């Protein structure tokens, strides 16, 4: 990951106005974000927070009320920019009468690739997304997982530098989600810059470098996972076979905050005292099950950020 | 690009202006397309067919509607209801004025069938006039068609016996491409029938010059017939006696067909002498040939109202 | 101000505007051709896969063959009925197909969101619109060609059957039939463009309803022209004249009457009709591109 900014959004605002809502509904409110080359940035937020609207504005599918978006330093209206990006829409639907092979051939053709190159690309992409065996199955007969994989393949047809994925795992079963996440990680390893939109926080935690939490059209918190979650506050040692007497002995050790139900809590600075505590547990006849340094999950951060935003508003 | 939409707007206006001349050219080349009232007018004061608005509303499907009504007319004809045929044929011809067969049948139906059906002289004169009127409208709607002019000419010649008018139409039909050779012959036969020697001889000269190319002619006998007639009339054109004999032949043929004698408006000869058997001019009281008195005064003149058909 | 002068002014405006903007449109067109062609091809392929179009063609073929049941008519009448009915069937079905094809092309892509995958690629919006239009034209050309071929076949077969009858006046008028069918196709092409324009701004249902109204009004252009000339007030006259300009001149392409009555067919006015229709369609497609360009998908 380097410092080159691939996608820059500044002051983006989108107000939907109609005859019945002349004042308008603010879908995106003064949004600022930037994505650096090679990083995986995720926008998370509840339904209706403006994630998909933001992506659509970035891609030029809808037009902002205010603000600007630049990709590789140019506007999306510049066709050369679209040569370098790939988009996986939410609940992607492609022409359902065609099979995977025909669809990928069509999309590759839109980039002007000659027939030989297209054939090669189709083969490579079908292998990458695991659809080689089902290349002749029409889109309408594909399962949800197969459709998402084909949709991802069409987004990769031009080997894009920037990938924009809108809810890539929505509607998939756990196996499908796992597969999709593995694919995204693979793409990340290949050096792609990825802008991901999701409300599956677990998978976001797995793949992302930076996260932007969107709520009611704006970013309420942004940063890397560790920045958002903060440092771990404690060291937790989970034990078994430790009686009350032994618990009292362990609790007396330096750095130990408390012992209860076999769970030993130590201060985050007491890393040096860990070994003596473990020895004490062993001498007391107990067994160490696990040693961990938990930090707040993204879910916790998410809920906290939204609550904070609501409180601030009040 | 700056002012992009304005320039596009200018381009669109320019393109639309460019389409004005071709549209005008179409107006000129296809006038029938732009005359929703067509050239046809209703035969009577009350139109018994569809109104111009109904015709216009059908748009390009007028001809299909005409076809469907024509099929209906065929069924009605088979059923024998001659009166019901009239509004149908009127509708067909108004919907598609270029449907020549429909005009022919319509005119023929009025001038022949309805005429024969009628019991009074007034009615019969009416149907004859109506048939001719229908065919005149057909000619107006189809100025380039020889068949319909021929049809009108034939109706006037054979049914109404207005041979002078018939001759005009036969001549006009003969000028058009595709006209058959019998049209040429009928042209001079009209003058033969009314013994108009002044017009007959030029007509025969004209007929001789027509259809001389045997390979293209539809009737190889045409030249033979015309030459024969021409020679006969060259010999007898100044022989009134022979003319009168021709009239007798003609009258005999008419009597055999029971054609009423009041239908000879153009015939110069009227009464046949009971002594010599030859006709004299209309209004003569004595025979011009043998001097015998012709019919009694009470027996002279056209048939009175109410006389039944013979 | 003669019509020729107006057209000349129009031509000058077009040439000057194109000359001033050639640096914009020339490369745009060069880039557009392959994209438009690809989108057209996929449109045609999709229509082929959806067997609906095949079913309609089969239906029309059956209708055309059923017209040979008019054998009780005289040969002269038969040829007239066959030509008339056959050409009218091609007109009706051609236009129905055009309406249901064009009204669904763009709105369906927006509804199923298949358009997102395409517009994220280096494809301009006007290329998408043009590609859909060209695809529709190809589909309609195939259908009209098949229907015309069947009509010609029916006429040729019928002619062969009645040729030996005495005084047979059956005249298949094949040249006229082919000309009328071709002109009919151009009328359908003009109408399709207008339907696509409407579809860029309204829903499928509204587009279909509007298309039927436009078809009816377009077929009555001569009545509108006549009404405009005999209008009572200046306002009515202006309104009718504007309506006359806006309406597609479908009657210009209607040669059924001339062909079925064996009248003289003016090929020159067919060419004029084509020029007029082409200008109209170009304007309509430019408008469609502008509207679709500004549309939020």
B26 and C276 within 8 Å at the Cβ level: the answer is: yes
Give the separation between CA B159 and CA C131, rounded to whole angstroms: 66
- Residue B193, φ and ψ in degrees, nearest 5: -65, -30
Pick among C4, C5, C9, C10 to test the B interface (most B CBs inside 10 A): C10
What percent of chain C clears pLDDT 90, i.e. is strictly above it? Answer: 44
Cβ contact C–B (≥3 pairs, < 8 Å): yes
What pLDDT, on a 0 to 100 scale, did the predictor assign at position A202? 81
Give residue-wise pLDDT tens across range C128-138: 999 999 999 99
More confident residue, A149 or C161: A149
H-assigned helices in chain C: 3-20, 22-49, 52-66, 75-112, 114-119, 125-162, 174-199, 204-218, 221-229, 234-246, 256-260, 267-293
Which residue in B304, B146, A107, A139 sits closest to C41, CA to CA?
A: A107
User: If you write DSSP's letter for every residue of A110-151 in order, what string do you get?
Assistant: TTT--HHHHHHHHHHHHHHTT-STTTTSBGGGS-HHHHHHHH
Is a pLDDT exceeding 60 seen at residue B302? Answer: no
Q: Are residues A47 and A160 in the same domain?
A: yes
A61 and C296 within 8 Å at the Cβ level: the answer is: yes
Q: How confident is the model at residue B56 (pLDDT cuts 50, 70, 90)?
A: low
- The residue extents of the domains of chain C are 31-293
Give residue-wise pLDDT tens across range B182-241: 999 999 989 987 778 899 999 999 998 888 777 777 777 888 888 898 998 898 888 877
Give the separation between CA B167 and CA B155, rounded to whole angstroms: 11
**Which residue's structure tokens are 């969107």?**
A214
What pLDDT, on a 0 to 100 scale, did the predictor assign at position B42? 38
Residue B265's CB: how many other CB atoms inside 10 A?
A: 13
Q: Are residues A218 and A287 in the same domain?
A: no
Q: Are A242 and A262 in contact (CB under 8 A)?
A: yes
Token pair for C281: 């369609």
**Which residue's structure tokens are 């019919």?**
B295
Q: Are residues A270 and A181 in the same domain?
A: no
Is a pLDDT exceeding 90 seen at residue C173? Answer: no
Residue A13 lies in a domain: yes
CB contacts, 8 Å: B74 with chain C:
73
Q: Are B107 and C83 in contact (CB under 8 A)?
A: no
User: Which of B7-11, B53-57, B152-156, C173-177 comes out lowest in average pLDDT?
Assistant: B53-57
Closest residue in chain C to residue A154, using alpha carbons only? C117
Reported for C13-17, long-range contacts at CB under 8 A and 24+ positions apart, including other chains, are C13/B10, C13/B11, C13/B13, C13/B14, C13/B17, C14/B11, C14/B14, C14/B15, C14/B18, C17/B7, C17/B10, C17/B11, C17/B14
Which residue in C240, A148, B3 sits closest to A156, CA to CA?
A: A148
Chains adjacent to C (≥3 CB pairs closer than 8 angstroms): A, B
Instruction: Give the angle subtended at the CA of B175 by the CAs of B169 and B176, to the nearest 5°.
Output: 100
What pLDDT, on a 0 to 100 scale, did the predictor assign at position A220? 86
H-assigned helices in A135-197: 144-155, 174-189
- C-alpha torsion sign, points C174, C177, C179, C181: negative
Strands A5-16 and A66-71: antiparallel
Residue in C35, C117, C119 closest to A94 by CB: C117
Which residue in A57, A37, A49, A52 sits closest to A90, CA to CA?
A: A52
User: Which of A24-28, B99-103, B148-152, C283-287 comes out lowest in average pLDDT?
Assistant: A24-28
CB-count burial class (<10 Å; 0-12, 13-18, 19+) for B289: middle
Terminal C-alpha separation, chain C = 45
- C-alpha torsion sign, points C222, C224, C225, C231: positive
Half-sphere exposure (CA, 13 Å, Cβ side) for A96?
12
B11 and C226 within 8 Å at the Cβ level: the answer is: no
150-169 in chain A: CB under 8 A from chain C: 151, 154-155, 158, 164
For chain A, state the CA radius of gyration.
25
Average pLDDT, chain B: 80
Residue A297 lies in a domain: no
CB contacts, 8 Å: A56 with chain C:
297
Closest Cα in chain A, distance from residue C132 (Å): 14
| Count of all residues that appear for chain C in the document | 297
Give the separation between CA B271 and CA B282, rounded to whole angstroms: 7
Pick among C117, C131, C296 to test the A interface (most A CBs inside 10 A): C117
Give the separation between CA C94 and CA A133, rounded to whole angstroms: 41
What are the pLDDT tens digits along chain A (314 aa)?
A: 578 999 999 999 999 887 777 788 889 999 999 999 999 999 998 888 889 899 999 999 999 999 999 999 999 888 899 999 999 998 878 998 999 999 999 999 999 999 999 999 999 999 999 999 999 999 999 998 899 999 999 999 999 999 999 999 888 888 888 889 999 999 999 999 999 998 788 888 889 999 999 988 888 888 888 787 777 778 888 888 888 888 888 888 888 888 888 888 888 777 788 888 888 888 888 888 988 888 777 777 788 777 777 777 66
Closest residue in chain B to residue C24, using alpha carbons only? B1
Interface membership of B62 toward C (CB under 8 Å): yes
More confident residue, A216 or C286: C286
Element (H, E) at B155: none
3-state helix vs strand vs coil in chain C, percent to 5: 80, 0, 20
Residue in B11, B29, B64 closest to C269 by CB: B29
What pLDDT, on a 0 to 100 scale, did the predictor assign at position B36? 47
- What is the tally of helices (H) and strands (E) in chain A? 11, 13
User: If you write DSSP's letter for every residue of A258-302 in order, what string do you get?
Assistant: EEETTEEEEETTGGGGHHHHHHHHHHTT-EEEEEE-----HHHHH
Q: Are A154 and A77 in contact (CB under 8 A)?
A: no
Instruction: Give the angle subtended at the CA of C55 by the CAs of C49 and C58, to the nearest 5°.
Output: 130
Rounded to an integer, the average pLDDT of B86-98 is: 89
Interface membership of C112 toward A (CB under 8 Å): yes
Is a pLDDT exceeding 60 seen at residue B263? Answer: no
Closest residue in chain A to residue C36, using alpha carbons only? A110
Structural domain for A271, as ranges:
234-292
List all residues 6 or more positions away from B6 whose beta carbon is below 8 Å from its beta carbon. Answer: none
CB contacts, 8 Å: C219 with chain B:
59-60
Is a pLDDT exceeding 90 seen at residue C43? Answer: yes
Interface membership of A72 toward C (CB under 8 Å): no
Closest Cα in chain B, distance from residue C257 (Å): 6
Residue A99 lies in a domain: yes
Q: Are residues A178 and A276 in the same domain?
A: no
C113 and A79 within 8 Å at the Cβ level: the answer is: no
Interface membership of B83 toward C (CB under 8 Å): no
31-90 in chain C: CB under 8 A from chain A: 31, 34-35, 38, 42, 45-46, 49-50
Give the separation between CA C217 and CA C209, rounded to whole angstroms: 13
Q: Are residues A238 and A162 in the same domain?
A: no
CATH number at residue A20: 3.40.50.300
Strands A287-292 and A85-88: unpaired
CB contacts, 8 Å: A102 with chain C:
45
Is a pLDDT exceeding 60 seen at residue B251? Answer: yes
Q: Are residues A130 and A238 in the same domain?
A: no
| Count of all residues that appear for chain A in the document | 314
More confident residue, C66 or C7: C7
What pLDDT, on a 0 to 100 scale, did the predictor assign at position B243? 77
136-195 in chain B: CB under 8 A from chain C: 144
CB-count burial class (<10 Å; 0-12, 13-18, 19+) for A252: exposed
Residue A180 lies in a domain: yes
Is a pLDDT exceeding 60 seen at residue B264? Answer: no
Which residue in A227, A221, A176 sits closest to A203, CA to CA?
A: A176
Question: Which one of A190, A211, A229 terminates a domain?
Answer: A229
List all residues 6 or more positions away from C206 whose beta carbon is below 8 Å from its beta carbon. Answer: C198
Question: Three-class SS of residue B20?
Answer: helix
* pTM confidence score: 0.82
Beta bridge partners of A211: A42, A223
Q: What is the largest CA-CA distance in chain C?
A: 69
Residue in C24, C225, C279 closest to B18 by CB: C279
Q: Are C284 and C193 in contact (CB under 8 A)?
A: yes
Closest residue in chain C to residue A76, using alpha carbons only? C120
Q: Are residues A145 and A261 in the same domain?
A: no
Q: Are residues A241 and A221 in the same domain?
A: no
Chain centre to alpha carbon of residue A42: 4
DSSP state of C202: S
Give the separation between CA C11 and CA C4, rounded to whole angstroms: 10
Give the separation between CA A196 and CA B81, rounded to whole angstroms: 83
What pLDDT, on a 0 to 100 scale, did the predictor assign at position C188? 95
Q: Are residues A216 and A258 in the same domain?
A: no
Q: Are residues A74 and A145 in the same domain?
A: yes
Token pair for A277: 């505590």
Average pLDDT, chain C: 88
Q: Are residues A28 and A136 in the same domain?
A: yes
Q: Are residues A251 and A211 in the same domain?
A: no
B11 and C268 within 8 Å at the Cβ level: the answer is: no
Chain centre to alpha carbon of residue B274: 36
Interface membership of C123 toward A (CB under 8 Å): yes
Residue A225 lies in a domain: yes
Most confident of B288-292, B295-299, C92-96: C92-96
Total domain count for chain A?
Answer: 2
Token pair for C76: 């002269």
Beta bridge partners of A85: A162
CB contacts, 8 Å: A60 with chain C:
119
| Count of all residues that appear for chain B in the document | 310
User: Which of A184-198, A280-294, B52-66, C244-258 comes out lowest in average pLDDT?
Assistant: B52-66
Give the separation between CA B23 and CA B29, rounded to whole angstroms: 10
What strands lie across the sheet with A85-88, from one edge to the other?
A: A85-88, A162-166, A193-198, A40-44, A210-215, A218-224
CB contacts, 8 Å: C49 with chain A:
97-98
């Amino acid at each position: 990951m380097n410092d080159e900014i691939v996608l820059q959004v500044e002051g983006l605002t989108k107000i939907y106005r109609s005859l019945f809502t002349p004042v308008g509904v603010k879908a995106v409110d003064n949004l600022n974000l930037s994505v650096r080359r090679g990083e995986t940035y995720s926008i998370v937020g509840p339904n209706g927070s403006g994630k998909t609207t933001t992506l659509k504005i970035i891609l030029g599918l809808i037009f902002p009320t205010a603000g600007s978006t630049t990709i590789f330093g140019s506007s999306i209206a510049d066709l050369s920019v679209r040569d370098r990006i790939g988009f996986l829409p939410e609940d992607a639907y492609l022409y359902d009468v065609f099979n995977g092979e025909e669809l990928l051939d069509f999309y590759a053709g839109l980039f002007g690739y000659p027939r030989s190159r297209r054939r090669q690309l189709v083969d490579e992409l079908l292998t990458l997304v695991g659809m080689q065996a089902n290349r002749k199955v029409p889109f309408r007969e594909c399962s949800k997982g197969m459709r998402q994989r084909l949709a991802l393949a069409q987004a990769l047809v031009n080997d894009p530098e920037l990938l924009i994925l809108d809810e890539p795992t929505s509607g998939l079963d756990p196996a499908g989600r796992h597969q999709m996440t593995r694919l995204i990680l693979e793409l990340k390893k290949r050096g792609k810059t990825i802008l991901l939109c999701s409300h599956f926080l677990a998978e976001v935690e797995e793949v992302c470098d930076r996260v932007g939490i969107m709520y009611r059209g704006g970013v309420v918190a942004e940063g890397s996972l560790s920045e958002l979650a903060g440092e771990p506050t404690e060291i937790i040692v989970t034990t078994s076979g430790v009686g009350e007497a032994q618990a009292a002995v362990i609790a007396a050790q330096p750095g130990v905050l408390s012992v209860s139900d076999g769970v030993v809590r130590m201060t985050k600075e007491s890393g040096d005292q860990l070994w003596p505590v473990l020895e004490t547990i062993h001498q007391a006849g107990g067994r160490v099950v696990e040693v961990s340094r938990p930090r707040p999950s993204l879910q916790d951060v998410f809920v906290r950020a939204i609550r904070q935003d609501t409180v601030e508003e009040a | 690009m700056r002012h992009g939409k304005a320039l596009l707007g200018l381009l669109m206006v320019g393109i639309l202006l460019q389409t004005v001349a071709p549209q005008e050219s179409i107006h000129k080349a296809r006038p029938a397309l732009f005359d929703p009232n067509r050239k046809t007018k209703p035969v009577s004061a009350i139109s018994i067919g569809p109104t111009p608005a109904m015709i216009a509303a059908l748009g390009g499907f007028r001809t299909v509607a005409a076809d469907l009504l024509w099929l209906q007319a065929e069924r009605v004809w088979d059923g024998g209801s001659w009166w019901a045929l009239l509004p149908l044929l009127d509708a067909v011809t108004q919907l598609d004025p270029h449907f020549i067969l429909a005009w022919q049948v319509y005119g023929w139906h009025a001038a022949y069938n309805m005429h024969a059906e009628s019991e009074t002289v007034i009615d019969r004169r009416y149907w004859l006039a109506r048939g001719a009127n229908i065919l005149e409208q057909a000619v107006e709607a189809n100025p380039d068609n020889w068949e319909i002019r021929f049809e009108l000419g034939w109706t006037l010649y054979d049914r109404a016996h207005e041979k002078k008018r018939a001759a005009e139409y036969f001549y006009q039909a003969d000028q058009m491409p595709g006209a058959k050779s019998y049209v040429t012959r009928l042209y001079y036969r009209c003058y033969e029938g009314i013994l108009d020697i002044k017009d007959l001889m030029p007509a025969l000269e004209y007929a001789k010059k027509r259809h001389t190319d045997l390979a293209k002619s539809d009737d190889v006998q045409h030249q033979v017939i015309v030459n024969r007639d021409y020679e006969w009339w060259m010999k007898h054109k100044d022989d009134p006696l022979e003319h009168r004999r021709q009239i007798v032949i003609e009258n005999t043929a008419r009597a055999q067909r029971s054609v009423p004698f009041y239908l000879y408006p153009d015939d110069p000869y009227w009464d046949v002498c009971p002594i010599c058997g030859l006709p004299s001019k209309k209004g003569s009281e004595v025979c011009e040939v043998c001097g015998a008195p012709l019919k009694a005064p009470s027996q002279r003149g056209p048939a009175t109202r109410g006389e039944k058909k013979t | 101000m003669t019509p020729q002068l107006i057209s000349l002014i129009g031509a000058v405006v077009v040439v000057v505007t194109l000359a001033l903007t050639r640096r914009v449109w020339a490369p745009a067109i060069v880039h557009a051709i392959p994209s438009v062609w690809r989108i057209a091809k996929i449109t045609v392929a999709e229509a082929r896969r959806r067997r609906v179009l095949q079913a309609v063609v089969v239906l029309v073929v059956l209708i055309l063959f059923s017209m040979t049941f008019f054998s009780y008519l005289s040969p002269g009448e038969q040829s007239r009925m066959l030509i008339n009915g056959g050409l009218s069937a091609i007109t009706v079905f051609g236009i129905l197909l055009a309406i249901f094809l064009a009204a669904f092309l763009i709105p369906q892509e927006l509804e199923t969101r298949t358009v997102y995958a395409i517009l994220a690629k280096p494809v301009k919006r006007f290329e998408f619109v043009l590609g859909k239009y060209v695809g529709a034209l190809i589909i309609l050309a195939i259908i009209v060609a098949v229907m015309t071929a069947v009509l010609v076949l029916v006429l040729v077969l019928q002619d062969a059957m009645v040729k030996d009858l005495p005084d047979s006046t059956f005249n298949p008028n094949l040249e006229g039939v082919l000309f009328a069918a071709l002109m009919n196709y151009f009328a359908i092409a003009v109408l399709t463009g207008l339907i696509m324009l409407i579809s860029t701004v309204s829903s499928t249902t509204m587009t279909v309803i509007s298309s039927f109204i436009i078809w009816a009004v377009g077929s009555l252009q001569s009545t509108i022209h006549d009404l405009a000339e005999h209008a009572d007030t200046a306002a009515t006259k202006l309104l009718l004249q504007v309506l006359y300009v806006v309406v597609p001149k479908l009657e210009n392409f209607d040669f059924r009457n001339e062909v079925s009555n064996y009248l003289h067919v003016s090929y020159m006015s067919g060419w004029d009709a084509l020029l007029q229709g082409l200008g109209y369609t170009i304007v309509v497609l430019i408008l469609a591109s502008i509207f679709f360009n500004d549309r939020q998908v």
